[in-house]
Amino acid sequence: MTDKITVAGVSVDTRHWIGGERVASAGTFTDVSPIDGSVIGEIARGTATEAAAAVAAAKAAFPAWAATSRAERARLLHAVADGVEKRIEELAIVETTDNGSLLRSHRRGVMPRVAHNFRFFADWLLTLEHEDFDTRGHTNHVDWDPAGPSVLITPWNAPLMLSTWKIAPALAAGNTVVLKPAEWTPLTASLLADITAEAGLPAGVLNIVQGYGSEIGDALTSDPDVRRISFTGSVPTAKRISASAAANLTPLSLELGGKSPLLVFADADLDLAVDLAVEQYDNAGQVCLAATRILVEEPIAEEFTRRFTQKAAGIVQGDPRDEATDIGPNIHPRQLEKIDGFVQRAIAAGARAVIGGHRKDGQYYAPTLLTDVAQDSEIVQEEVFGPVLTLQTFTTEDEAVGLANDTRFGLAATVATGDKERAGRVTAQLVAGTVWVNCFFVRDLQAPFGGSRHSGVGREGGNWSFDFYCDLKNTVTAPKGWKDRG
C-alpha cells in the first residue's frame, strides 16, 4: 500500500499514528466515498498487535502528560485548535468525500465546532475547582486526578467532531488517548494526528489505530492498562464493549442510539413545528438525536401533514459538495439496505408512505414519512438511522407523553407548544437526556449530554466530562497535628 493518498487535493497519510510515529500494517481495508461509490484509497488495517502498541505508547506517555501543568495542557489544546482552524477547508472537503455530509455544513459549522471542542475544554480545565468545605473543623479539598490511558471509539456520522468531543476533555484531564475511528470514515482522524504533532503534543499522548472493531475492538477495550472507555455507537456493540471492559472494571461512558419523539400540540406555532419536523432529515437522517417519531395532536394532524409534505418537497437531495444540496447520500450500501429493509417491512405491515419510501440512484434514499404505524411496530421501536420519519396522532397530553416514552431509548425529545405551563408539565415527564422546547439541536458544551435507558450510560460535557475522565480525590486535613518547623 502507499503511505499517502490524495483526497480532493489534500494529502492524507493512510497509516496508524502510534507513539508519535506513522505505523503501517500488513493488511489494508478499502475506503469508499458514499457520494459516488468511488474508491478513495487503501487504509492500514489494524490488528491486536497495533492495538497493544497504541495502548503501550499511551501508557508510557501518561506519567509525563499527567504531571504537565494545567496551563501547559490548555496551551497545547489551544494550539491544536489553531491548527484545525488553519485547515478547515481541507478537513471539510476530506470529511465530505469520506462520509457524504454537506460540505457547506462542514465549512461553516462542523469543523469550527472541532476547534471549539479543544478551546472549550482547555478553558474549562483552568476553571475546574470545588470550593473547600469544612467538616467539624477539618478541611475537605477535592482534586481531579488524571485516570490513565483512555480508549475512544467513535462513529461515522460526524467523525471528527464526535472524536474531538471525546479527545479534548480526555487530554485536558491529563489522560492519554487511543482513538479508534470508524472504519467507514478514517481520514480526518489521520489529518488530526498531523495537526496535533505540529501543535507540539508530546509523542504517545494521542494515538490512532484504524481498522475493524471486530478485529481490534476487544484488544483495546479488554487491555488492563486502559482506565477509561468512551464509545458512541450502537447498543449491540456497547454490550460487547461492556462485557470486554468488565474484567478490569474499566469505567465506561456510552452514548448510544435514539428513537426520539417530536411532540406537536395543537397550540403550537404550526409553521415552526413543521420546520422542526423537516429538520430531522438533516445529514440524511444519520443523527442520533433526530426526532424520528412525530407525534401530532389529532385536531391539527391533517393540516400538519399537508404543510409538512409541502415543505419536504423543497428538499434538495444530491451531491453534498454542491452548495444547493440539503441532504446527501447515506454512508454505505449496507446501511442503505438496512434503511430500505425497515421501510419495506413497515409498508408490508400496513404503513403508508406519505412521501418517499424508496431508494434513489446510488446511495441516496428518498426522504420518507410513514403513517398508519402501530406503536409496537419495528419501525416505531427501532432506530433506522436514515431519512425516515413516522407520524402518529394523540388526543390528550397524557397519551402524548405515554407514546413518547414507550420505547427502550431515551436520548432526546422535542416539544412544540405555545403553552409554557404545558411545556413544563410535559418535559418533566419525558425520559430523555436532552429535551428541546420549540427548537432543535441547540447544544452547549457545558451542558450534560448522554442518554437514558438503552440510549447510554453516563453524561459528558463541562464538569461531567472531567468527572468521567478523572479519578476524583477528596483530601481531609485536620486542623492540628502540625510540627513547628521554625
pLDDT digits (tens, 9 = 90+) for 118-150: 999 999 999 999 999 999 999 999 999 999 999
Q: What is the pLDDT confidence band of residue 1, given thresholds at 50, 70 and 90? A: low
The pLDDT value recorded for residue 336 is 96
The pLDDT value recorded for residue 217 is 92
Q: What is the pLDDT confidence band of residue 486, given thresholds at 50, 70 and 90? A: low
Apex CA 93: angle with CA 100 and CA 75, to 5°?
115
Asked whether the predicted pLDDT for residue 32 surpasses 80, the reply is: yes
Beta-carbon contacts of residue 157 (< 8 Å; ≥ 6 apart)? 99, 101, 283, 286, 287, 288, 331, 385
Percentage of the chain lying above the pLDDT 70 cut: 100
Q: What is the pLDDT confidence band of residue 343, given thresholds at 50, 70 and 90? A: very high
Asked whether the predicted pLDDT for residue 172 surpasses 80, the reply is: yes
Q: What is the pLDDT confidence band of residue 433, given thresholds at 50, 70 and 90? A: very high
Asked whether the predicted pLDDT for residue 481 surpasses 80, the reply is: yes
Gap between the Cα atoms of 387 and 447, Å rounded: 27
C-alpha to C-alpha distances, 66 to 100, 129, 174, 387, nearest whole angstrom: 38, 17, 4, 44
Least confident of 36-40, 256-260, 397-401, 481-485: 481-485
Instruction: Look at the block and give the residue holding cell 480526518.
Output: 188
Gap between the Cα atoms of 426 and 301, Å rounded: 19
Contact present, 48 and 216 (Cβ < 8 Å): yes
Q: What is the pLDDT confidence band of residue 96, given thresholds at 50, 70 and 90? A: very high
C-alpha cell at 323: 452548495
C-alpha cell at 411: 436520548
Sheet holding 133-135, edge to edge: 133-135, 138-146, 470-477
Gap between the Cα atoms of 193 and 197, Å rounded: 6
Asked whether the predicted pLDDT for residue 189 surpasses 90, the reply is: yes
Helix axes 420-429, 397-405, angle to 10 degrees: 30
C-alpha cell at 435: 429535551
Please report the domains of the chain, with CATH numbers, ordered by start residue. 4-256+451-474 (3.40.605.10), 261-437 (3.40.309.10)
* Mean per-residue pLDDT over the chain, rounded: 97
pLDDT digits (tens, 9 = 90+) for 41-71: 999 999 999 999 999 999 999 999 999 999 9
Asked whether the predicted pLDDT for residue 2 surpasses 90, the reply is: no
Q: What is the pLDDT confidence band of residue 484, given thresholds at 50, 70 and 90? A: confident
Asked whether the predicted pLDDT for residue 234 surpasses 90, the reply is: yes
Helix axes 111-127, 462-469, angle to 10 degrees: 70
Catalytic residues: 255, 288
Instruction: Look at the block and give the residue holding cell 388526543.
Output: 395
Average pLDDT over residues 460-467: 96
Beta-carbon contacts of residue 396 (< 8 Å; ≥ 6 apart)? none
The pLDDT value recorded for residue 483 is 87
The pLDDT value recorded for residue 485 is 73
